[in-house]
Amino acid sequence: MIYAKSFTAGLRPDPLLSVSEWSDSHRMLSQTASSEPGRWRTDRTPYLRKIMDCLSPSNPTEKVIFMKGAQIGGTEAGNNWVGYIIDQAPGPLLVVQPTVERSKRWSKGRLAPLIDDTPCLRGKIKDPRSRDSGNTVQSKEFQGGIVVVTGANSAVGLRSMPVRYLFLDEVDAYPGDAMGSHSTC
């Protein structure tokens, strides 16, 4: 039964809802991870709308590079995309932070609150306390996909994982030879 359900889910076309529309409709900002908890409002950061919409599966853009200043919402736009993927367009996602330690901190401080505080995501990822939940600090399984979180300083963590989505955050802090090829990306 689960195989048939997964098979038909895989045949379903990606939704037409954009990442910014999903964020405005569903994303809740946590009291523990945000200075302004409550519903996400793209109008508060209008410069992120086009960036988020380019991340939507219905958009023909294949690569989005966001060069920005500090603390202007770039990671939150990426977090919205992660929530959108889990809810609307499941598939394997690799999230890369500068170090393994920072990836664990992002998972606990940003990803876990995103899942816990956004009602449509809460039931999609099992409780980490349940046995064999597929939910650890560095791996979150959900129907049709998985979020794997690693650091750019872990060559092993960057190898051998087929992904549909790749979120490289804080790239300027990556080590110089993260991929073993003198190129961080």
| Rounded Cα–Cα distance for residues 146 and 138 (Å) | 10
Average pLDDT, the chain: 89
Q: Please provide the CATH number assigned to the domain covering 15-173.
A: 3.40.50.300
24-66, pLDDT tens digit by residue? Answer: 999 999 988 788 899 999 999 999 999 999 999 999 999 999 9
Angle at 15 between CA 74 and CA 147, to 5 degrees: 50
Residues contacting 69, CB < 8 A, separation 6+: none
pTM over 0.75: yes
Q: DSSP assignment, residue 167?
A: E
Residues contacting 153, CB < 8 A, separation 6+: 98, 99, 100, 174, 175, 178
Parse the chain into domains and list their residue ranges.
Answer: 15-173
